[in-house]
């Protein structure tokens, strides 16, 4: 055990020396997990992850989803956003089972992004946050499609104004 700490101390010193004597920030467990998840990402071509503060700040990233099928085909969605969707409320909260009751530590960012992508290709009116949008999808899919197009191009759906999707 003592030898392990000595090896770790030597590695830290080498990293500091390579960095011009500047102490190397110790990564948190969350940062280590996030680094692992990001290195293993295998996203569909319609999804992308970016780091607005650079790769050194892994805890700050954006996910862009550009569905190529379904009601939301042709749209570009950058999290956080405001969208007419039965599983996303007007404050941008997302209803996705793997972010709630089905969460397990073995799930990774890739799984979450695929889950978000799936919300845009197959919206679920059975587990809604936006009950009005869910009712329209369930009862009148053509009207739902019209509302989605209106929301994606900027305009009113009911009493809510949506800004144009990228």
Q: Which residues are part of the catalytic machinery?
A: 95
Q: Give helix 141-153 / helix 131-139 axis angle, nearest 10°.
A: 130
Q: Contact 155/75 with Cβ under 8 angstroms?
A: no
Angle of CA points 68, 71, 77, to nearest 5°: 60
Distance CA 91, CA 88 (A): 8
């Amino acid at each position: 055990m003592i030898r392990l700490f000595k090896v770790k101390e030597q590695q830290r010193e080498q990293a500091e020396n390579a960095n011009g004597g500047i102490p190397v920030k110790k990564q948190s467990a969350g940062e280590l997990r996030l680094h692992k998840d990001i290195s293993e990402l295998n996203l569909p071509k319609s999804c992308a992850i970016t780091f607005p503060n650079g790769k050194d700040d892994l805890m700050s990233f954006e996910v862009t989803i550009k569905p190529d099928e379904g009601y939301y085909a042709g749209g570009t969605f950058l999290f956080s956003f405001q969208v007419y969707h039965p599983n996303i409320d007007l404050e941008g909260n997302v209803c996705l089972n793997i972010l709630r009751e089905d969460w397990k530590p073995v799930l990774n960012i890739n799984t979450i992004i695929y889950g978000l992508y799936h919300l845009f290709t197959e919206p679920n009116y059975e587990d809604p946050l936006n009950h009005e949008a869910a009712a329209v999808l369930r009862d009148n899919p053509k009207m739902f499609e019209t509302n989605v197009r209106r929301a994606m191009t900027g305009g009113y759906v009911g009493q809510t104004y949506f800004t144009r999707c990228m």
